[in-house]
Amino acid sequence: MKSTAVLLIDCPDRRGLVARVSGLLYEHGANILHADQHQDHELGLFFMRVEWGIGPADGGALDEVGGRGNRPADAFDGNFDLDGFRAAFAVLARELNMRWQLTSSARRPRVAIFCSQYLHCVADLLHRSSTGELDCEIPVIVSNHREVESLSGFYGIPFEYLPVTAAAKAESEARQMALLEQNEIDLVVLARYMQILSPAFVARYPAAIINVHHSFLPAFTGARPYHAAHARGVKLIGATSHYVTDLLDDGPIIEQDVARISHRDQVEDLVARGRDLERVVLARAVRWHLDRRILCYGNKTVVFD
């Protein structure tokens, strides 16, 4: 397998954008593998995802977010001059007022999983990672309970027990952020982590914290949505995976799914069926993020297929 690069773009819509981007890639010798685009005509915005081969899979390039300075990138020792293209594209991006992200698959994203007492989502993610379905490294699992410790040991992943109390919440969160820095974490996945993150924590990982909510948002927010759904007599239940923002359960939605229920179903039935939905929507959201298929704008997402 070869490593690939992915370019994600959003900018004001205008004629000739596809030609300008694809032309620059052609000039640099890119072999485009996938290309997709979307226009929001109401807002006059253009979105694009392009993926192309850059060289052997054992190359050394690191991810870079264009124009945002998250981290430097080593020169890629392969068939495509990724650094040269990055420099050339930066000029085009300034001209066309583009926000852009340029990443390489040569560096596998590093993911931290946070969970509490419910283990169905974290167990599913660990299985998918172990079978190669999720292309990432998971260097740490963090929990405010010990239930996941044996599961972490089974998969050989370090476990960090960091209890959270009202009196010591700030201290616990500071330890969490230090742990994420130490492990060079790119993505935080809240696999039924039943704690609210502070604005400072969320600001440290913009569009890089994925949560699963056991409800079809925006309906039935909060901690007991299945009970609320049962009391309301709904005929559909759902689950939602979204990016975390300062507003609880209000971040950009990545994926949702639903299941039909009836008057015969009790709260316990809703919870059991809902857990299957939670596994699926969280895994899809994480996979699409790792595949660099998501662009956020406003409080919405574009998810390229």
Residue 249 falls in the annotated catalytic set: yes
d(CA 234, CA 70): 45
Kindly give the interhelix angle for 120-130 and 267-290, rounded to the nearest 10 degrees.
40
Determine the Cα angle at 184 with ends 155 and 101, to 5°: 115
Higher pLDDT, 234 or 138: 138
Q: Give the mean pLDDT of 241-259.
A: 92
**pLDDT tens-digit readout, 115-129:** 999 999 999 999 999
Q: Which residues contact 199 (CB under 8 A, 6 or more apart)?
A: 246
Among residues 63, 124, 186, 249, which one is catalytic?
249
Q: Per-residue confidence at 76, pLDDT binned at 50, 70, 90?
A: very low
**pLDDT tens-digit readout, 164-210:** 988 889 999 999 999 999 999 999 999 999 999 999 999 999 999 99
Confidence (pTM)? 0.88
Q: Which domains does the chain have, with CATH numbers?
A: 2-104 (3.30.70.260), 110-303 (3.40.50.170)
Q: Per-residue confidence at 58, pLDDT binned at 50, 70, 90?
A: very low
Structure tokens at 69: 């300075």
Peptide bond into 218 cis (omega under 30): yes
Is residue 182 exposed (0-12), middle (13-18) or buried (19+ Cβ within 10 Å)?
exposed
| Per-residue pLDDT, 249 | 81
